[in-house]
Amino acid sequence: MHQRWQWQWNAIAATLVLLTLLTIFYPIFLFPITFTTSPPRPSTQKFSCVPPHHSYDFCNKSLPIKTRAQSLISLLTIQEKILLLSNNASAIPRLGLAAYEWWSESLHGIASNGPGVSFSDPVRAATAFPQVLLTAASFNRSLWFLVGRAIGVEGRAMYNEGQAGLTFWGPNINIFRDPRWGRGQETPGEDPMVASAYAVEYVKGLQGEELGDGDGGFMVSACCKHYTAYDLENWGNFRSFSFNAMVSKQDMEDTYQPPFQSCVEEGRATCLMCSYNRINGVPSCAHHDLLQKVRRAWGFKGYITSDCDAFAVIFEDHKYAKAPEDAVGDVIKAEPSGTPCTVSEKGLTGTRNGYKLWHIFVANEKNLLPLNQMDVTSLAIIGPSANDSSRLGGDYTGVPCNPRSLFEGLQPYIKAIYASGCGDTQCNSSDGFAEAVRISREADAVVVVAGLDLSQEDEGLDRVSLLLPGRQMDLISAVSSASENPIVLILLGGGPIDVSFAKVNPQIGSILWIGYPGETGGQAVAEIIFGEFNPGGYLPITWYPESFTSVPMSDMSLRPDPSRGYPGRTYRFYTGEVVYEFGYGLSYSNYSYKFMSMPDKIVLSTATSKDGPSEKMTHQTSDGFDYIHVDDMTSCNHLKFEAQISVFNLGAVDGSHVIMLFGRASNSFRGAPRKSLIGFTRVHTKSLTAIQVSIEIDPCKHFSIVNDDGMKILPLGNHLLMLEAIEPTYNIQSVTKMVKAVGLVIGKLSSSLDRGFVYDLIPTPPNDAGEPACSLVEAVKDDKKKGSKSKSQAADSSSLLIDHDWIAEHARQVSRMLVGGIKVVGIYIWVSDIAFKNSAIMLCQTVKAVAEATPLSEIDREERLLIHICYSPLRWTCRNCTWTSNITSSCLRPCDFKMGRVLASLQTFKCTYNLNLRWPICHESASKVRTLSDVLRQGISHHAKELKDAKALIDGNLVLNDEPCTLDRVHEVELLLPFMKDTYAEACSQKDVLGVLAFNGSVCSFAYLNPKEPISQAVSDIKGDIIMSLRSRLDIICDEAYEDVGPRDDVSQEANDGISTEKPVSQLIPHLVRKECCLSFPRRVFVPWLAGTYICDYLQSYETLEVLKDHCVELMSMEAPSDTSTILEPEIEAPSMVTKSLWDVSIPFFLASVSPVKKIGSDTREEIRKKSTKSDNVNVMGAVLFLLLSILVGSMLYVVRGLRS
């Protein structure tokens, strides 16, 4: 007993000793133990951001998405980031990130193709909607939206059960360009407008924006694919993985791109999938221009994914990359409680009637259908697909909830008998013909189901023929010959079929195309055959004859080329014979139309134009036809109108009908479509009843065409609207009296030569309210006094309405971007002579406002240039505008000018000027309180005087005389400041100096010299540019400060608030602030401009070159270069700017009350060190207390043991 107690006490004592050692060495061992544990086991968690990993910033839903994303990225290692780049993203257990499969499919229902979907318990099936091409045949936007929403709801439900992801890769909105394409069945058809409309509605429905909580969240994510010009699988020697789609700019912008643009801009899709193929030699997934257009021009904010293995295809098939890792680099640089079924009967109600609308009658001779059940007692249904529900889905189908074959759908209505006729769809044998003929003789009615299945058309499988496969035509002929009555031919499949033989066979009474109708196809077909529902579908594609297969499928051209016998493609351009045309369809009713109201013309005014006079201003002419560029219009909204149409149902039954409005220009523009769909709407009409509908028409969108350069142009003259046989005319005219543009004259006034040079005209953009800076107004005249002359005098009354302030503000901002003597030297106006004369005083006032906003020098002349451009006839007139206290029309006087190439002869001078200035901070009385910006502004002005007398070295030679520079290269300029005592500091020696303001850094400057100008002019322009640059940067900082804080009248309150109010540094009062402050100025960036010259912009450290590009477009009306290597950032490379954006302005105070140094808005290393030290102190104190406690307990146990013994 004693030995047992002895053993127990020894164990307890050993445990206490071990605890003591762990306590002592706890701070040493904790860190290595944490990071040397073995790799975690694979995570099985279902969702991310669950305890204990829910406290990261990326889990905080209250934070902005960008902040959360940055938080997550900052926590990931390189290896972890790589693991997240594929569709099967791995789990990151240490951050609580669950594994995620990005690949889920949903083209026409939740599909089992992608690994992200699993049909098992508890959800074993989902709704299988009709294939997309058949859905598009409804031409029903509401239905498209409801289908998308139903799929989205089912997808979200399966995600909640862990059986699907949230990212679904659909819709497929490629154009069904060639009838042989195996995946055409997945698309909305061949028309870009229909594909665009389908994309918008489906994506909105799937993503469920209207079901969200208002915070911009989505139900699931939609992905528009395959971007772009992808429509070939396996034809001849061409494969989708290696195919190089040669596409013209015209076809790209006119046909291939619009669906994707609508998907992004209107549908707000959160994903875009790039395709396998090359486009004009560049793989789609590595196509910088196309992918950047999605981001920059269309504003895409989602993620871009490649098609499956498209990265590898870039290396393996396209041979575009030298190695697999190069392929990845090319892509990165280019961018960027369950139930057996997830839908209930109630959920299907909203879309079931739509199923019947999709099926299309293309023939119904002698009104064979609908069948009367009183007259028909038996029905024979023949065909290998008639009793096989698995063939009704098409590709990308999941597990349907309640599939029913066509035979099963007919059985509740009539006694039906079935024979396959052929063993399968390929129908290579006639062994089953006899049985089919036998039952066709016995039945009152016969239905033959023919067509295609996935053995004929599929992903990776294009068709080689447009005829029915194998001996299907023979089967149809045999059955129709044996039947006593005309038969019904039902065509199954996605692509068009040449059934010309059936159209001329009198024994084939009705032809019904049902596409791939999905799980309810059997029921829908039965209801249509027996008249329970009036079908209303229309073909979304052209059905071509078999002869079309001679056209190479690899030819991506859409427009016909008679010189090589090329007929073109799609109904918009195809010139050959058709089996059935786009938009064709029959129903059990007939309809008539009447236009109730619509305007017969519009007059375009280029007062809404956004281009300047350096562009093509009015209408232009090509091939004898007049047009204008759509991009020249600031807005087309005011041109939209409604076409009111009356639709009359002539039939004996109610029906759902689609009104399709087509249009074309009456003049034959080169490359213009034969006709184009410009609007459609579906309405339900009662029998023998009329209903009125309206279709919105946007002339800029619906009447425009795309020219050879890929630009949209709007033809002037007559346009035809086409509604079956009705063709009203709509006329687009250009106005004869208009203001095209007002803007700034950019140039240089050379005092040494007493002449000026005009370099460019920059149009002033519309103001923040979208209103033009200048418009034309008519004065109201008393017609009674004018008699018969009222019309001509009304023309004389036109004058200008000019926004002086906006033009002056534009001039102020543009002047910041000009360098080296180039200035805003005046304004131009594009207007008629009459309007110019009537507005002379207003124009002079505008010139004065611009001059005051952009002074040319310290002592400015009251003179600027006014250029008048008259458009009829086209001519230029230059005038000097000189103003005094009273502005009159006499302020304008003509001046001589010559047109020539001035910019090409300019010499370029470059200077990098290093600043190292010190200015005293003096105590000021309350009446002379100045902010830091005041001190800086005065200091810059003082330095301008010092700089004025500085000598200069050009290319290492001291400038002594005004000899011209003859070498054609960039000349390096170095300014030499003399050593002298600081007179400014000396002047302040009698004041109370509290500190010193240090102004350090480098300024890069350019100047441009005309060959006839003296070299001293370049030195003077360099000096002026340096000072102007400093002032511009200070103005930018002050402008931002004013916008953020706003003006304050109470100076004393400002001083008392100090830094505690988080006031911008430029507004601080230096002598009342007891802290050292830092102020970072923006850096200067140079952008190529005209003929080797540069303009500049100023970027803060946190701003990117995208800001610069926006400024170039908005202020200078120019496109920034896409090649960023041409943009110069020399100030970043300056030696004194190793770790700073440009320079710092600091204010040290030598007072006892100086606070610790702290840079505004950021934590210092000292604070972090103190926090760390505090944490370490707590750990040490805890360890010591634990040690003392262990010793105390051990001593007590030792005493107790002694007492027992």
**Which of 261, 1194, 1199 lies closest to 710, judged by CA?**
261
Per-residue pLDDT, 631: 82
Catalytic residue among 231, 251, 254, 307: 307
Write phi, then psi, for 1190 (nearest 5 degrees): -65, -45
Per-residue pLDDT, 760: 87
Question: Helices 1165-1204 and 2-35 meet at what angle, rounded to 10?
Answer: 170
Per-residue pLDDT, 788: 39
Can you say whether residue 441 is alpha, beta or left, with left for phi > 0 and alpha for psi between -120 and 50 degrees?
alpha
Q: Which residue has the tokens 């008699």?
A: 787
CA-angle at 33, arms to 28 and 37, nearest 5°: 170
d(CA 694, CA 107): 31
Run of H or E residues at 476: helix 472-482
| Cross-strand pairs, 1083 | 1099
610 exposure class (CB count in 10 Å sphere: 0-12, 13-18, 19+):
middle
In order, the DSSP letters of 784-807 are HHHGGGHHHHHHHTEEEEE-HHHH
906: CB partners within 8 A, 6+ apart = 1008, 1009, 1010, 1091, 1092, 1093
Write phi, then psi, for 493 (nearest 5 degrees): 140, 170
Residues of the chain with confidence (pLDDT) below 50 = 1-43, 213-214, 311, 315, 318-324, 327-329, 331-332, 335-340, 343-354, 606-618, 736-739, 780-796, 926, 1045-1062, 1065, 1133-1176
At 1002, the amino acid letter reads: S
- As a CATH number, domain 741-781+790-900 is 3.40.140
Token pair for 79: 């290896």
| Cross-strand pairs, 369 | none
Can you give the three-state secondary structure of 230-279, one letter per residue? CCCCEECCEECCCCEECCCHHHHHHHHCHHHHHHHHCCCCCEEEECCCEE
Q: How many CB atoms lie within 10 A of CB 270?
A: 20
DSSP 1057: H
Can you say whether residue 782 is alpha, beta or left, with left for phi > 0 and alpha for psi between -120 and 50 degrees?
beta
Contact between 457 and 182 under an 8 Å Cβ cutoff? The reply is: yes
Architecture of 360-535 per CATH? 3-Layer(aba) Sandwich (3.40)
Per-residue pLDDT, 820: 83
* pLDDT tens-place string over residues 281-327: 999 998 999 999 999 999 999 999 988 765 455 545 544 444 445 54
Residues listed for the chain: 1205
Specify whether 833 is catalytic. Answer: no
Per-residue pLDDT, 889: 63
**Which of 157, 44, 165 lies closest to 115, judged by CA?**
165
Can you give the three-state secondary structure of 335-399, one letter per residue? CCCCCCECCCHHHHHHHHHHHHHHCEEEEEHHHCCCCCCCCCCEEEEECCCCCCHHHHCCCCCCC
Give first-to-last CA distance, the chain, whole Å.
12
Run of H or E residues at 520: none
Contact between 292 and 304 under an 8 Å Cβ cutoff? The reply is: no
Strand 620-622 to 625-629 pairing: antiparallel
Token pair for 158: 């399966």
Run of H or E residues at 917: strand 907-922
Token pair for 719: 């346009």
173 exposure class (CB count in 10 Å sphere: 0-12, 13-18, 19+):
buried
d(CA 900, CA 915): 39
Q: How many CB atoms lie within 10 A of CB 875?
A: 10
Q: How many CB atoms lie within 10 A of CB 16?
A: 15
d(CA 614, CA 632): 12
pTM for this prediction = 0.62
Architecture of 102-334 per CATH? Alpha-Beta Barrel (3.20)
Write phi, then psi, for 126 (nearest 5 degrees): -145, 165
Q: How far is CA 277 from CA 185, 226, 239, 243, 955, in A?
A: 19, 10, 9, 5, 53
- As a CATH number, domain 591-606+617-734 is 2.60.40.10
**Which of 653, 898, 913, 965 lies closest to 757, judged by CA?**
898
Question: Helices 840-853 and 804-817 meet at what angle, rounded to 10?
Answer: 40
Contact between 80 and 126 under an 8 Å Cβ cutoff? The reply is: no
Write phi, then psi, for 903 (nearest 5 degrees): -65, -35
Can you give the three-state secondary structure of 6-74, one letter per residue? HHHHHHHHHHHHHHHHHHHHHHHHHHHHHHCCCCCCCCCCCCCCCCCCCCCHHHCCCCCHHHHHHHHHH
Q: How many CB atoms lie within 10 A of CB 824?
A: 24
